Amino acid sequence: MTYYFADHLLLTNGWAKQVRFQVINGRFANLQPDSQMQQHDIHLSKPVLPGMVNLHSHAFQRAMAGLAEVSLNPADSFWSWRDLMYGLVAKLTPEQVYSIANFVYVEMLQAGYTQVAEFHYLHHQANGQAFDNPATMALSVRQAAQNTGIGQTLLPVLYSYSGFGSQPANAGQQRFLHILDDYLRLQEDLSSVQDLRLNQGICFHSLRAVSKHQITSCLEALPKHWPVHIHIAEQQKEVHDCLAWSQQRPVAWLDQEIGLSDRWCLVHATHVDASELEAISRSQAIVGLCPTTEANLGDGIFPATELIARGGRLGIGSDSHVCLSVAEEIRLLEYGQRLEQQQRNRLYNQHEPSVGNYLYQKCVSDGGASCAINSGIAEGNRADFICLDVSYPTLASAQPEQWLDRWCFASNHNPVNDVYVAGNQVIKDGQHKQQDAIHAAMSQCLKQLL
């Protein structure tokens, strides 16, 4: 029987000292604050925090990060970036996707992410035909999660059309496309995995890429406990096109025609009005914010302050992986609100005035809900936790309640030292045991692609 002993540990209700706990079958058990360390306890001298949830990832896009920062168009936008992304998509093999996913998942673990929602829409061969095993591409990213040790919510994406009103897909989208029956078979083929670190969900690329019939059919046919993710209202053009098609804004259409609930994760939701914000809050749907990607693509700034004031839920994701830093996502999320409102300290509540403490815990909890898991350090939850090296000068002088503010707002140094997923140590002293081989495979992959 193994016990751990943490000098400092961040519980769901705040920092605790001298905490003994067990990990039984990959889950936290017997959490005992204010205890005495016993002879055979594993001593965790560095502060212990829950691992962060990355609620939105396109693993393959890591291969093009930094390659779209040259202006070839005076009106450069998300849509011109998308054309460049399609060029990468045309080349990728399952083996390359596996190499890229391995690389980005190690980077996530080193950053302190212990769970990722993989929004996976790259399904088919370069000519648009299915592989002999239609799940080949999805299994590439799942196997990368198993190999690296990160928790994963696999979200196979239904993508059928290029625009609102079931417009035919274009040539760059051929590798993404499914008819409804094939999509449901893919979901069934992937659903037999038995691993505490892995689960699955329903995913619609966007309202412009699916029909109402497809959405309702999937919700009826697939398990009711699975989370449901969708890109929505990311760009103004998407909102304008939705209005032209339906006379409703995207989130309003989804709420009125389908019905929002706490199963839904609305990725980006950048451009919402007050009534849509109220619908999101009322339903307890989770807003999936990806601040560094949204800034990179020029999406806009989501009204997070108003969502928090209404009791809404949100989490963070790294999306296209131009940045893999928990601190940077939290920092930019808060700073975007400050810049827009010209005020400081925007995202907090009356129970937790520290922005860093509040946002970190909220993104763990709400991000976990978006993956249909209970996250955070509490008995029964999966034992995902990280240990911070607080010897760095900006952290060494801080009190426990200041560590997260110092990390998120005052450090250019990554203090994540050790990472555990389901009780298994996957990062030790900042390193992954397969790191060298994974880096070499990624380098070779990029040379082939670029």
Catalytically active residues, by annotation: 268, 319
Q: How far apart are CA 273 and CA 275, in angstroms?
A: 6
| CA nearest neighbour of 58 among 194, 155, 166, 201 | 155
Other CB atoms within a 10 A radius of the CB of residue 84 amount to: 14
* In contact, 442 and 436? CB cutoff 8 Å: no
Cβ density class 163-189: b for 16+ within 10 Å, e for less? bbebeebeeebbbbbbebeebbebbee
* In contact, 32 and 20? CB cutoff 8 Å: yes
Distances (CA, A) of 181 to 96, 186, 206: 28, 9, 18
For 75, the 3-state DSSP assignment is: coil
Task: Please give the full DSSP string across 244-311, using - where no structure is assigned.
Answer: HHHSS-HHHHIIIII---TTEEEEE--S--HHHHHHHHHHTPEEEE-HHHHHHHT-----HHHHHHTT
| CA nearest neighbour of 351 among 365, 361, 366, 338 | 361
* In contact, 185 and 139? CB cutoff 8 Å: no
Q: How far apart are CA 287 and CA 388, in angstroms?
A: 28
Burial group, residue 219, by CB count within 10 angstroms (0-12, 13-18, 19+) = middle
Q: How far apart are CA 345 and CA 327, in angstroms?
A: 16
* In contact, 229 and 267? CB cutoff 8 Å: yes
Q: What is the maximal distance between C-alpha atoms in the chain? A: 69
Segments of 94-146 assigned E as strands: 113-120
Q: How far apart are CA 372 and CA 199, in angstroms?
A: 8
Segment holding 200, helix H or strand E? strand 198-200
